[in-house]
Amino acid sequence: MTGDAILDEFRDAGALLEGHFILSSGLRSPVFLQKMRIFEDPVRTERVCGALGKLIRETFGEVDIVVSPAIGGIIPGYETARALGCKAVFVEREDGEFQLRRSFEIPEGARVVMVEDIVTTGLSSRECIAAIRKHPGTLVGAACIVDRSNGKADVGVPLISLTKLDVPAYPADQLPPELAAIPAVKPGSRAITA
């Protein structure tokens, strides 16, 4: 699947949003990829994650476990694992920090790939990787559907993506006037409390 075909999936799903968004990192952007509009469609999700699984196998070889960061990573992690024929587990926040919970295990000798939906700064990926590294198992690399950092994010292991984007993201105190004029919304789950 080409990078353009991936972006067409986002367009066709109504997942390519324009407005004023507060990203997980706190940065602001006029563009948001609402991946859940992809994941609401199992057939589209199978197509996209099938392509990610293929790229992972070509790049990293056989994999035993996919680990993803909740919430956004859970569905693509599961579907990519299905394409790879391996297990899917996820990390979730406990006191703000990603942890492997629910009796999930990453045993000694397991070949692990981290699967993220979207990478912007790479912060969530690095946090997920830090949680993975508390367990035995060998992290062979990281993969995402869209890399909004255009290849600039450093997650500490090789990161592959189905497509790269170069979209603006600004610190909150450096907004261009056209963005400052629009009320900001925060679609993601970081810092949401019960």
Ligand X SMILES: O=P(O)(O)OC[C@H]1O[C@H](OP(=O)(O)OP(=O)(O)O)[C@H](O)[C@@H]1O
Ligand Y SMILES: O=C(O)c1cc(=O)[nH]c(=O)[nH]1
Is the Cβ–Cβ distance between 100 and 130 less than 8 Å? no
In the numeric block, which tokens belong to residue 127? Answer: 């946090």
Nearer to ligand Y, 64 or 127 (CB): 127
Nearer to ligand X, 58 or 95 (CB): 95
Decide: is 116 part of the binding site for ligand X (CB under 6 A): yes
Indicate the pairing of strand 159-164 with strand 138-147: parallel
- CA–CA distance, 172 with 180 (Å, rounded to integer): 9
Q: What is the three-class DSSP state of 97?
A: strand
Show the binding pattern over residues 28-67: x = contacts ligand Y (CB under 6 A), - = does not. Answer: ----xx-x--------------------------------
Q: What is the three-class DSSP state of 134?
A: coil
- CA–CA distance, 166 with 8 (Å, rounded to integer): 16
Q: Least separation, in Å, of the C-beta of 68 and ligand X?
A: 9
> Given the rule CB under 6 A, which of 27-35, 42-50, 98-106, 108-116 is the region that contacts ligand Y?
27-35
Quick one: which of 1, 31, 55, 123 contacts ligand X (CB under 6 A)? 123
Show the binding pattern over residues 124-143: x = contacts ligand X (CB under 6 A), - = does not. Answer: xx------------------
